[in-house]
Amino acid sequence: MKKTAILIGATGLTGNILLHKLMEDTRYNTIKLFSRTKIEGLPNKVTQFVGDLLNLEQFKEDFKGDEVYCCIGTTAKKTPDKELYKQIDYGIPVAAAKLSKENNITTFLVISAMGANKESSVFYNRTKGEMEHDVLEQNIIHTYILRPSLIGGERKERRILEKVSLVVFKIIQPLFIGKFKQYKIINPESIAQAMLNLANRTSNAEVIITSDDIKKLAKK
């Protein structure tokens, strides 16, 4: 039986890679995109819903499918206002999880970040931790929270600090062994593939997926 996938964040680096994987995957006959802007040139199996994602509830009647992939996220540089930042990184995933629960969607996957902790004194980590906590509070049967390390790849927007960090990490990566392997740079392709593999397996052993395990899952 063909499935319907819901994708939030298709214009981002990982989300766009995942979109193309879903388009090529014959297990899906419908892909629903929820975003602020329309993506041109997509096939008929993709239906786009364009609007304010900070008011995701407006899409309730159309927010129906088999799986939800939430790849939404911003940066401190792109969104310096902390209130708006939290509305995006916390508000959108939690709203999506609540809609998933209300519409009886049993599989929900969301990208978080390494270091997520709702008790953290660091705003970014605390926001991600609070998001994880409230997503899990929805008790969706198959919930997967992915915590990647620094994500590699070329983005449309210019992020100088992130590019510098990537260069430094590439130099010191050989030193990351044992329990420190999870800090190695991760390819967005691996994250997208791991999400797809997780959604299409029968077991639900892990809920929190660390960066090192994301890479392993991408190969299965």
Interacting residues of 77 by C-beta distance below 8 A, sequence separation 6+: 159, 161
Q: What is the DSSP letter of 186?
A: B
Mean pLDDT, range 98-126, rounded to an integer: 96
pLDDT in tens, 68-88: 999 998 888 888 999 999 999
Confidence label for 164 from pLDDT (cuts 50, 70 and 90): low
Q: How far, rounded to the nearest angstrom, does the alpha carbon of residue 165 sit from its chain's CA centroid?
A: 21
Question: Dihedral through CA 20, CA 24, CA 30, CA 34, nearest 10?
Answer: 0
Share of the chain above pLDDT 90, in %: 76
CA-wise closest residue to 27 among 58, 4, 43, 56: 4
pLDDT category, 214, cuts 50, 70, 90? very high
DSSP state of 88: I
Could you give the CA distance from residue 67 to residue 139 in angstroms, rounded to a whole number? 15
How high is the mean pLDDT of the chain? 89
Residue 157: C-alpha distances to residues 16, 103, 112 (Å): 14, 35, 20
pTM of structure: 0.87
Q: Which residue would you say has higher pLDDT here, 25 or 174? A: 25
Q: With 90 as the cut, is the pLDDT of residue 151 above it?
A: no
Window from 1-5, 69-73, 132-136, 161-165 with minimum mean pLDDT: 161-165
